Structures are given as structure tokens and as C-alpha cells.
Structure 1
Amino acid sequence: MWKGVIPAVTTKFLENGGLDNDENVRCWGLQMDAGCDGLIVCGSLGEGPMLTLSEKIELLKTARSVSNGKPVLMTVAAASTAESCEIAKAAAKAGADGLMVVPSLIYHTNRQETLDSMRAVAAAGDLPVMIYSNRVAYKVDITPDIMEELAEDSRFVAIKESSDDIRRTSEIFSRLGDRYAVLTGVDNLAFEALSVGAVGWVAGLVVAFPKETVAIYQLLQQGRTQEALAIYRWFRPLLDLDVSSYLVQNIKLAEVMAIGSNDRVRAPRQPLAGEERARVEKIISQALATRPALPSLS
């Protein structure tokens, strides 16, 4: 159902802290212009847990206005199952094409709790669901075992695989065949995951470098592995910025330098400063100075 490059977009804020819808439209439009295959709003990179439900729905509607009919998914990530179900219902009513669902952000669910919560959210939204498997960030491991049980419900259609272990991607295919569309969610494992069968890339640095991200994916689909690898090797220092507690600040700074946006974040986050800002700026500046010419994809 879902494949290709699907950005997990950042959320742009005004100086007063409100949503900057004009800048969201501009930045997300760049993703569509570059050939991305959909949008995911209100995820970790989108500062979803810092947003009210009404803001989430506003962002969803904004994304739908620029997506050119491509799928727009709402991230469902809350402390309680009840709140997650509320988000899922509201997203469905507002026209989401699907949900990306995370277990509780606060409580680390056991196996049965994970199954029951995921099923409840899927039933509440009654939309196609991408399972977000990220044991590193969220401390709950949605294992292939759990995926197999969830497969009984046809609403579970895809997996964002973010375990940080490339062996997990192969394990899912060995265990479940093509039951799920498997997309990689770790920027600096994307080439590896796509090479072993992942059909898509839920990407982060794409928001600052959309054309390069799309080029890597499309070149791999065309079997032009060495061309894709050359771009990926250039991209790697940037992609490493996604694997950090400061991924939001890192990637928003990349947007400042690459597409002329801003790096406002919602408290308690603050933009990078001092030595850490200088370190990240150096990485981005080096990448911009050595940006490769992209081959024709036709």
C-alpha cells in the first residue's frame, strides 16, 4: 500500500509559538516537488507530543492540501490508549489516509498490553495502520512475534522498522513474507534496508535534502546501486543527525541552512546553541559544499 520516500515532516512555528501554516505549506510542498510519495505529520520529528489535538488536525489538513492526492498519515503517539484512540478517531474524521501508531509514550507495555492497545487504536480509527516499531526511542519492542499476531487484523498493513538492527528487516521477511509493507525508519540504515527488501523510507533529513533522498530511493529501484551508494556515502554524516536525542533541533538547523527555513521548536526544546550548534553547522556546511550533482532518474 505505502512505499517510496515518505517524509516524517517537521512542524513550523511562528515566533509567538503558534503554527506557521504558510511555512509548513512551503516546506512540505518542496517534498512533493522533489517526488516524495506521501507525508507523515505529528511524529517525533514533527514534535507531535508537544501539539494539541486541534493543532494535529490542522496540520493534517494542511498536509492534505499540498500532498497532490498522495497519502497523508497521522502519527498516533500518546500516553494512554484512550488518548490514542481519540487521536485516531479525529484523524479519520479529518480525512487521514492512514495512521502510524506508537505504543504508550510513558508506560512501557508488556506483550499483551501492546497487542491490546494497538488493536484498540486500529479499531478506533478504522484506517490502514503503519506499526511504528522503535524499541530504541520508545522502549517497547514490537517484535515479529507481535507483528504476526497483529497480522490477523487487515487494518495493519505496514511497518516502520526502527529497531536500529538491519537483521530485524530480514527477520520480518523471513517470518511474514510480504504480509506487510516494510519501510525503514532509520535514516543512516536506509540504503542497507532498501537493499534487503524494504519498500520505502520514512525519512527525516529528506525535509532539508528532498532531491538527494528521492534519488537514492529511485536509483535503487532502477538497479543503479553504485550511483545510489555514492550519494548515500555523501549523505551519511547528515543522516547520522537523525539518530540523536536532538534530532528535531539537528534537522531543523539543516532546514535553516539548506532551504532557508527556521529552527523554532516548542519548549522544553530549545534550538541548538554554543559548541553543539557549531558542530552540527560544520557537518551541514561541509555537505552543502560537496553536494553531488544528481544523475538523471528517467
Structure 2
Amino acid sequence: MKPNWIGVYPAVTTKFFEDETLDLKTFSYNIDEQIKAGVHGIIICGSLGENSTLTYTEKLELLTAARETIADRVPLIIGIAENITRMAVSFVKEAAGAGADGFMLLPPMRYPSDERETLHYMHTVADATDLPVMIYNNPVAYKTLVTIPMFKDLAQNAHFESMKESTGDIRYMTDIINELGNRFKILSGVDDMALESLLMGADGWIAGLVDAFPRETVVIYELAKQGRIEEAREIYRWFYPLLHLDVSTKFVQNIKLAEVATGLGTEYVRQPRLPLIGEEREHVLKVINDSLAKRPVLPQI
């Protein structure tokens, strides 16, 4: 199913057992619950999906499991986060054959490439497939900023259809729209800036806390698009302490704890990540439990 890059696209977590092997049953269960809640697409093997700790084979296992679960109900996007260009090219070819509907492409990992290198990498990987590609712009985490001149260059390549905007600067999105119009679909990639981004013209929301709170996330999006701003803002303000958990170096652990609290996952992570302990864990659990105690009744949409 071809993605239209509009709506809520959960960046789903990768589920593990305690011994760090893949828990495909829980992984598939969460994806199914996301779709039942009304999301518009699924993204696997992103940053929240612990892409950097997964083997090539495991990524394809997750893709196969997700494909079987989704069964063409929504588009399936897989993250590409590789260190070597030829490995990224090989992977997009294999993933396309295994059922991916599109790709979320990060700049080269580990090596902070310059503008020429970043563009060469992105064009080379995108040109290796006929599937559509979303550019993931997250200089805060990955130290490589895709600038507006770079987006203008990438706009000449029809494979690039959308962008995940994760600079953390709401002004940047407006600059992009002013410079490039509607050439790219824009999806907000920062949970606690999502409503602001939607109101300023974003087409969708690549969400993290949606993994634990799928229906609330979808309702906020739908209310915003319907112009029911007061209702969207009320739910968003309730959600906000939880959404802050996405903007942290421990965002994977945080969101997995939230998934446990809502019955949608486990907290097992893969090393070098470790489960939260002590005051850090207690703080996150307090945020989650305080929010659950005040969980709102959602309006009809």
C-alpha cells in the first residue's frame, strides 16, 4: 500500500524477551492495536525501534512479522540507518522484496557527513529502489542537519516524497514551507511539538508515546485537522507530561515503561541500553501513573 504521508505514523518499539531475543508476538500485538486505534501507517526499525542494535537479519524478521500483521490495512515503512552506503543500498533492495511500502532514511550513521556526502548518500540509497522515501532530519540526535538548500537538491529526486521534521525548531518548518511549498509532505517527529506543528501546516505526526496511547494520539490529530482546536488542546495539555518522555536520551526506556502501564508492551531493551532504575525510574513511573489517573474521556471524531 503506497503511503500518502498524511496522519499518525507510530514509530513502534522493537519488543524483546529478557534474554534480548525478538518478541515477535508482542511486537505484532502492539502494531495491531495501533491500527485498531486508527493510525494511518506503521514505522518499524526507527530510532525508537532500537535500529542501531538490530542485526540485518533481525530487521528483515521484524519486517516480515509486521507485514503479516498489517495485511495491507495501512502502509508499512521501515527505517534505514546504516553506516555503509552499499549496505544501505543492499538493505533497501531486500526490504522492498520483503514487503516494505516505503523507507525512512537517516543520514549516514556514526560518521558526521558534510553536505556533499550526505546528499550523495541519500540520492544513492533512494535511487536503489522504486519505493517512496521519507527524509529523517534530526540534527539534535544525529549531528547532521539537512538544510533548506539540501532539501531543494533532494526535491529534484522524485523518490523523496516526505520529511520527518525533528529539528526541534517550529520555525524551521515554516521556512521549509515558504521555500518549497507542498513539494514534501511534512510529518512532525517531536512528540511535545506535534500539535504546534499540525497547526502550522504539518501533514502528519510520527509519534512515540502513541505506542502506549494510540487512541489519544489519533484523536488529537483528527481534532486538529477538523479545526476543533480547543478540544485538541485540552487533550494535548493532559498528554504533555507524557510527551516530554519522548524528548530524552532514555526515550526508548521511558516509552517502553508506558507501554507496560497500558498493557501494550514490555520494558525489555537491548544493551547497551539498560532498564531504568532508582530515582530516574520512579520519576518516569510517576509521570505515567499521574497521567493515567487523569486519563480523559475522548470526544467523538
TM-score by length of 1: 0.98
Match of 1:62 among 55, 62, 65: 65
Regions of 4+ moved over 3 Å: none
Q: For the residues of structure 2 that align with 1:232 and 1:137, how far apart are their CA atoms?
A: 24
Partners of 2:30 and 2:264 within 8 A in 1: no
Structure 2 residue 198 is matched with structure 1 residue 194: yes
Counting matched residue pairs gives: 297
Q: Return the alpha-carbon distance in structure 2 between the equivalents of residues 117 and 6 of structure 1.
A: 25
What is the distance in 2 between the residues matched to 1:120 and 1:27?
33
Letter of the structure 1 residue corresponding to residue 63 of structure 2: L
Residue 32 (structure 2) pairs with residue 42 (structure 1): no
Deviation at 1:2, TM superposition (A): 1.2
Which of 1-10 and 60-69 deviates more?
A: 60-69
Local SS of the residue matching 1:124: coil
What letter matches 2:18 in structure 1? E
Aligned pair partner of 1:207 in 208, 211, 223: 211
Question: Which among 289, 292, 295 is matched to residue 293 of structure 2?
Answer: 289
Question: How well do the aligned residues superpose, as a CA RMSD in angstroms?
Answer: 0.9
- Cα deviation for residue 16 of structure 1 reads 2.5
Select between 86-95 and 32-41 the one with higher mean Cα deviation. 86-95
SS in 2 for 1:126: coil
Aligned to 1:29: 32
- 1:198, 1:261 → 2: CA distance? 29
Identity %: 50
- Structure 2 SS opposite 1:40: strand
In the TM superposition, residue 67 of structure 1 has moved relative to its aligned partner by 2.2
Q: Which structure 2 residue ranges, 5 or more long, are not aligned?
A: none
**Are 1:277 and 2:284 an aligned pair?**
no
Alignment of 1:229-248 (within 5 A): 229-248=233-252
Partner of 2:223: 219
Contact preservation (8 Å) 1:48, 1:75: yes
Alpha-carbon offset, residue 260 of structure 1: 5.1
Q: SS at the partner of 1:125?
A: coil
- Could you tell me which residue of structure 2 aligns to residue 150 of structure 1? 154
Map 1:100-179 to 2 at 5 A: 100-179=104-183
Query: Structure 2 residue aligned with 1:14, among 6, 14, 17?
Result: 17
TM-score by length of 2: 0.97
Give the distance between the partners of 2:43 and 2:226, measured in 1 at CA: 25
CA distance in 1, matches of 2:128, 2:56: 16
Task: Determine the C-alpha separation between the residues in 2 that align with 1:258 and 1:222.
Answer: 27
CA apart distance, 1:82: 1.8
